[in-house]
Amino acid sequence: MAKRALSSLDVAGKRVLVRVDFNVPIEQGVEAIASYDQRLRATLPTIQYLVQKNSRVILCSHLGRPAGKVVENLRLAPVGDRLAVLLGKPVKSLKDCIGSEVETAVKAMRPGEIVLLENLRFHAGEEKNDPAFAKALAGLADCFVMDAFAVAHRAHASTVGISKLLPSAMGLLVQREVDSMNKALESPARPLAALMGGAKVSDKILVLENLISRLDHLFIGGGMAVTFLKAAGYGTGASNVEADRLEFARQVLAQGKAGKVKVHLPEDVVIASKFAAEPPEAKTVPVSQVPEGWYIMDIGEKSARQFGQGLKGCKTIIWNGPMGVFEMPKFSQGTRSVAQAIAGLRGVTTVVGGGSTAEAVEEMSLMSKMTHVSTGGGASLEFLEGKSLPGIAALPEA
């Protein structure tokens, strides 16, 4: 069901509260924010639109997991500093998100000015969707814009509570996320392929259940390939097999054999004698030759090349999950090779799920080569599972 767009909300000269997602990996240090600022860049169009409308822009976000308490190294001011650089315009960071001092600062705002409220999760009422906390936030503004897709699957005060109290709409980022994934799911150019990776089948089982009848091709890598290889009758060494998902994997493989969807499993894998970034031994072997006691860490070079070739014939690609233990450089090559192959395709719609997949694409500077890279890990998964996201469902209809 279509939700109200930003263009349909009267924001000119108004105080506009915008829920953004600036939950960047701050634990890597303030200086690293510039290397992982996709979420900041993604919301720039909404902020710039509001500035052009002479709105007083009040940004709110969470950062980390402070559990309802003030945690000094989870303050948003450094993020606000980076945002100011990206906008080429001052961003005033406040020391709280509600209260008299915040209200005074907001009242003093001039048209086109931007403030960033302090970390919402410093208040326990945020995650509890406390009505009083939502009312205090709503009292700062004339209207509300939901532009934080990454937390749209959370029923929090700033994602659900506020939209019941103020005239509300989707931001440009949320609208782009919804439109891109809806198109890939409901009206894709064919052939349609899903490239699924990540640690576990259980993380993606609902996605596969929702997608499998729509797909022409299914490529499986990452840790979840271990369970599928086991289901196909291969030895998987010491790798983690999800025994309770073997039957589901067999059902997917059976659909492949029946010709309903072409299922592509790795033909070779990179294995290690120890699950570690620098194991005593590592080598590439055919999937039929994984020794006892060894761990599958990545898809092999041959598999990465075959996945890339197979994807060439597709017109829409949904990618969610890395092909190996990407955070360990020695076992990141499968993901890198497949990402580069996808980035090199022309005339193809590529929708990349959030989380670690988006981080990999961002780290490789391939963002501009993809049609859409989601800012939401859990949210994009739930969307692909066919679930309703509370933060979007709460918004008024168009």
pLDDT, tens digit (0-9, with 9 covering 90-100), for 269-294: 999 999 999 999 999 999 999 999 99
Q: What is the rounded average pLDDT of the residues 152-176?
A: 97
Residue 34: the pLDDT is: 85
Rounded mean pLDDT of the chain? 94
pLDDT at 150 over 90: yes
Same domain? For 193 and 150 the reply is no
Same domain? For 168 and 237 the reply is no
Same domain? For 268 and 368 the reply is yes
Same domain? For 330 and 299 the reply is yes
Token pair listed for 376:
């939401």
Same domain? For 69 and 149 the reply is yes
Residue 123: the pLDDT is: 98
Interatomic CA distance for residues 287 and 302, integer angstroms: 11
- Overall domain count for the chain: 2
- Residue with the bigger pLDDT between 182 and 27: it is 182
| H or E segment to which residue 336 belongs | helix 333-343
pLDDT at 197 over 80: yes
Same domain? For 155 and 268 the reply is no
Residue 1: the pLDDT is: 66
Residues annotated as catalytic (active site), given as ranges:
39, 200, 355, 378
Same domain? For 152 and 192 the reply is no
36 falls within a domain:
yes
Q: What is the rounded average pLDDT of the residues 349-361?
A: 86
Torsion of CA 107, 41, 390, 71, to 10 degrees: -70
Same domain? For 48 and 185 the reply is no
Residue 189: the pLDDT is: 94
Half-sphere exposure of 214 (CA within 13 A, CB side): 22
pLDDT at 194 over 90: yes
Q: Print burial letters for 18-52: b (CB count within 10 Å at least 16), e (below 16).
A: bbbbbbbebeeeeeebeebbbbbebbebbbebbbe
Question: Domain containing 247 — which CATH number?
Answer: 3.40.50.1260
> Residues with Cβ < 8 Å from 363, sequence gap 6 or more?
none
Torsion of CA 196, 335, 193, 202, to 10 degrees: 0
Instruction: Label residue 202 by pLDDT band (50, 70, 90).
Output: confident
What pTM value is reported for the model?
0.88
pLDDT at 85 over 90: yes
Q: What is the rounded average pLDDT of the residues 169-196?
A: 94
Q: What is the rounded average pLDDT of the residues 254-277?
A: 95
1 falls within a domain:
no
Q: What is the rounded average pLDDT of the residues 335-343?
A: 96
Same domain? For 257 and 373 the reply is yes
Same domain? For 185 and 165 the reply is no
Q: Which domain holds residue 19?
A: 6-172
Same domain? For 142 and 187 the reply is no
Nearest CA to 193 out of 255, 252, 263, 257 is that of 263
